[in-house]
Amino acid sequence: MKVGFYGHTRQYHNIKDEIDGNISRVLESGSYVTGPMLKEFEAQAAEYFGMKYAVGVGNGTDALWLSLMALNIGKGDEVITNANTFFATVEAIWIAGATAVLVDCDPVTKNIDPAAIEAAITDKTKAIMPVHLYGQCADMPTIWDIAEKHGLKVIEDNAQGIDGAGNGFKQGERSAAVTTSYIIQKNLGCFGDGGMVFTNDVTVDETIRKLRNHGSPARNVHSAGFNSRLDDLQAGVLSAKMKHITAWTDQRIGWARKYDEGLKECSSIKLPTNLEGYRHVYHLYVIETANRDEMLKFLNDAGIDAKTHYSIAVHQQEGFPWGRDARIAGSLANAEENAATCLSLPMYPELTQEEVDYVIEKVKEWDTRQG
């Protein structure tokens, strides 16, 4: 049996009529960039996520650095983030011209460790950029308190955690901005590149609207800017998919509970932690195991497309930081441990019971062999 890591075409086939309908609406409208479909999707996304403003941009990386720029964070400023994240989080800090300060994660959740953040703060620190890694919210109440105490901005990198929530708190509640990526492998994905910035701050909204469109607030008027827009075809795809995101998240959670139950007796692996009261959206279902590379090969050989997220932490990449501004603050032992032991099992709403059972069976077989 083969179990793929993604269900992109299954998802498309399930709601083909809705997606095709929106694509054809855009094509017939004759308006493909910053047109009515983008406006419609921005309004829909802002409402769904309970934020005042939503600005569609070119991709999730741009969403991060445009947010930094809109907050006047750049050269000489330090931004604290995870050492264990997808590489783009750190790239975005460099694109904005700022210094990336990498700190360790919590050993249980793998999310950024608030104590490590506080220890890393200097008089150059301007922002904290926590990642909701694998789909579970970082400890935002503690991070917001630290930020307020030290006068720092918070930008949540929510590329992996869309539709998630904490225990008694919402994403973005006390942050300057929340960003996401709409690339297909994310929980809400389009058929190309896309990203978004959510904010409750009208200045951030207006600034990013200008920056993404050649610094242009009105025809023929420009200030320093860029080109980074979410196009209307992608907005149409996302608008159709948005209506299903809650159900899709619930399906992911359902599969996670099946894995939890099916694998609870395996002694050679650790299962992901779902904190009490948190809506973990399981962008990834990441287990930990000592013989990770062998286990990965075993699963791959059995037809299961397991992967690693991420087997090389940012500071472990060869040649890091390539002359860019970076500072490692404190020990990164937990991030390194995570890189060495993480293994992601297939996780998407369109999995079948048969596929999930097969993955469980093979993981158990592997576990038995570990003795």
Ligand X SMILES: *Cc1c(COP(=O)(O)O)cnc(C)c1O
Provide the binding-site residues for ligand X, judged by CB under 6 A. Answer: 59-61, 85-86, 88-89, 131, 157, 159-160, 181, 183, 193, 195
Nearer to ligand X by Cβ, of 61 and 67: the residue is 61
Cis ω for the linkage preceding 182 (within 30 of 0)? no
C-beta of residue 296 within 8 angstroms of C-beta of residue 288: no
In the complex, what is the shortest distance from the CB of residue 197 to ligand X, in angstroms, rounded to a whole number? 12
Question: Taking the complex as a whole, how short is the minimal distance between the CB of residue 318 and ligand X, in angstroms?
Answer: 21
* Shortest Cβ 352–ligand X spacing (Å): 26
Dihedral of CA atoms 322, 325, 331, 337 in degrees, nearest 10, equals -40
| Residue 328: strand, helix, or coil | strand
Query: Shortest gap between Cβ of 174 and ligand X (angstroms)?
Result: 20
In the complex with ligand X, the residue whose CB is nearer, 195 or 236, is: 195
Query: What is d(CA 257, CA 240) in angstroms, rounded to the nearest whole number?
Result: 27
185 vs 251 by CB, closer to ligand X: 185
CA–chain centroid gap for 166, Å, is 15
- List the structure tokens of 297: 């090969």
| Closer CB to ligand X, 133 or 269, in the complex | 133
Nearer to ligand X, 89 or 341 (CB): 89
In angstroms, the CA 199 to CA 242 distance is 19
**Residues 317-326: contacts with CB under 8 Å, at least 24 apart:** 317/87, 321/100, 324/94, 324/100, 325/94, 325/98, 325/99, 325/100, 326/90, 326/99, 326/100, 326/101, 326/102
Q: Which is nearer to ligand X, 139 or 157 (CB)?
A: 157
Between 86 and 255, CB nearer to ligand X? 86
Compute the least distance from the CB of residue 265 to ligand X, in Å.
Answer: 31
Using the minimum distance from each CB to ligand X, give the nearer residue, 64 or 152: 64
In 3D space, the residue among 82, 259, 279 whose CA is nearest the CA of residue 187 turns out to be 279
| Nearest distance from C-beta of residue 219 to ligand X, angstroms | 29
CB 242, min distance to ligand X, A: 17
Shortest Cβ distance from residue 289 to ligand X (Å)? 22
- The pair of structure tokens assigned to 35 is 């047109």
Residue 132 in contact with residue 156, Cβ under 8 Å? Answer: yes
End-to-end CA, the chain: 25
> Could you tell me which residues come within 8 angstroms of residue 125 by beta carbon, excluding any fewer than 6 positions away?
77, 78, 79, 80, 101, 150, 152
